[in-house]
Amino acid sequence: MMLSLSTGHIAGIVATLVAITMVGLYAGLKVKTAEDYSVGGHKANSPVVAGTIMGTLVGGASTIGTAQLAFQFGACAWWFTLGAGIGCAALGLGMAGKFHESGLETVPQFLVRTYGSPIGPISSIFSSIGIFLNVVAQGLSAVALLTSMFHMSPFTATAIGISLVLGYVFFGGVWGTGLVGIAKLGLLYLATIVCGVMAYNLVGGCAGLAEKFPPYPWFSLFGRGLNLDAAAGFSLIVGVLSTQTYIQALYSAKDAKTADRGAMISAFMIPPVGVGGILVGLYMRAHFPSTPSGEVLPVFIMKFLPPWAGGVVLATLLVAVVGTWAGLSLGISTMITKDIYKRFFRKRAADREVLFVQRLLVFVVCALSVFFVAGNLKSLILGWSFLSMGLRGCTILFPLLGAMFFPRLVSPVAGTLAACLGPLANLGWHLLYPRGLDPLYPGLIVSLVTLVLVSMISRCRSERTADRASS
């Protein structure tokens, strides 16, 4: 379905982008130090914390990707936003305050405090690889959106997306992603509600949906199979609990209670975003089944919304994609700068140098994503996102829980080995058995078993050594 933008579309797009860009530029005025750039100077209130979390979680995957997956398989597409909401609830109920009270800036720094310095670069590298996979997902979303809007080449669309990312995060850091996140979420909620209600009415409500689709697989959360969809939801939970990008927002809060509240706000606000995308995907499947799956949401918007409103919604979606892309890139740059560059290469680097390296790495991450996006244009957006979250969880989750709740029971070597072997098992299983058990499970099992067994062995050795010394 080939649609073109009208003058009304363009006017709505330009007005929305200008307004939100001004918010990002204003945010940049608050950046004076590297700490301001990475954690907002620890000044953020609950809405800014929530905006920062949702600014990265509610992006191309949760909107365009959800509509794409619903177009192909139905209600199982809800797992991205539903799992993300459950993960944020877990943060708000027991972990957000502990992260903030630590006074640190990155997850690897938190791990190093319990397990020693070797775990820092290991967790940073594997987590950065996992986050980068989600950067690719946002790039694919941006390409789908821009090509459907302007009929440009994928490479041009990717270049424009990168330019927008740099405009939002290069100068504004976490303040940029947080404030832009707040600005976009109001528009995004309105857009998803309007599109979802329109699609529901156009398809004929519940009766129309029941007439056009059988209950299974279209209205099941496990429409692609228990193995695949349960892993998809679980990957979001463990990914949220293990990811620098979202936890970085908690560090930016002014106090621990603010961090908890920000996480809980996100938990309640994220899941409904996916419902509108699912309804749009189902309607397009019923009436326009030949539409390219990645373009079903922007095509619906261009076809059924008034031009000016469609322009506002399309621009909001673009900002959502760019905001997530920006936040993920910022998370990678912060970890590499703090946990590798400053620790191993420039321990005495001045604040201005650290800030420069962070910004440079944002650019490098965006540039690298061009090659991965260009080679996987027809792939499933949420597929990259689920793999990304799972890899992060296999690296961080169990060492993090051990350090946070059982620091006296885990050993340094156990945590380091778990952070290394967990993601390796995940990647190895994905390569060797792509059609078998989801790689999330072997990765988490290897990580947990390694952490527990090696800790027990280390503890037994320590007790034996103590007994010999006393005797």
Q: Residue 271: inside a domain, yes or no?
A: yes
CA distance 161 to 366: 9
| Phi then psi dihedrals of residue 434, to 5 deg | -65, -25
Q: Residue 79: inside a domain, yes or no?
A: yes
Q: Residue 234: inside a domain, yes or no?
A: yes
Half-sphere exposure of 198 (CA within 13 A, CB side): 19
Cα angle 29, 131, 176; round to 5: 15
Q: Residue 391: inside a domain, yes or no?
A: no
Task: Please report the pLDDT score of residue 88 as a whole number.
Answer: 93
CA distance 377 to 373: 6
Task: Please report the pLDDT score of residue 175 as a whole number.
Answer: 45
Smallest CA-to-CA distance from 247 within 90, 12, 411, 432 is with 90
CATH number where 48 lies: 1.20.1730.10
Q: Residue 463: inside a domain, yes or no?
A: no
Task: Please report the pLDDT score of residue 181 as a whole number.
Answer: 57
Tokens standing for 125?
A: 């590298």
Q: Residue 411: inside a domain, yes or no?
A: no
Q: Residue 36: inside a domain, yes or no?
A: yes
Task: Please report the pLDDT score of residue 182 as a whole number.
Answer: 64
Task: Please report the pLDDT score of residue 371 as a whole number.
Answer: 80
- From the number of C-beta atoms within 10 Å of its C-beta (0-12, 13-18, 19+), residue 434 rates as exposed
Task: Please report the pLDDT score of residue 32 as a whole number.
Answer: 53
Domain count, the chain: 1
Q: Residue 398: inside a domain, yes or no?
A: no
pTM of the model: 0.83
* Per-position pLDDT tens, the chain of length 471: 556 788 888 888 888 877 766 766 665 555 555 555 444 445 677 887 887 788 778 777 888 899 999 999 999 999 999 999 999 999 888 787 787 777 777 788 889 889 998 898 888 889 889 889 988 888 888 888 888 888 888 888 888 888 877 776 655 544 445 555 566 677 777 788 889 999 999 999 999 999 999 999 999 999 999 999 999 999 999 999 888 777 877 877 788 888 889 899 999 989 988 999 999 999 999 999 999 888 899 999 999 998 988 888 888 888 778 777 877 787 788 778 877 888 778 777 777 788 788 888 888 888 888 888 877 777 778 888 889 999 999 999 999 999 998 988 999 999 999 999 999 999 999 989 888 889 999 999 999 999 999 999 988 887 777 666 666
Give the domain extent around 314: 9-379
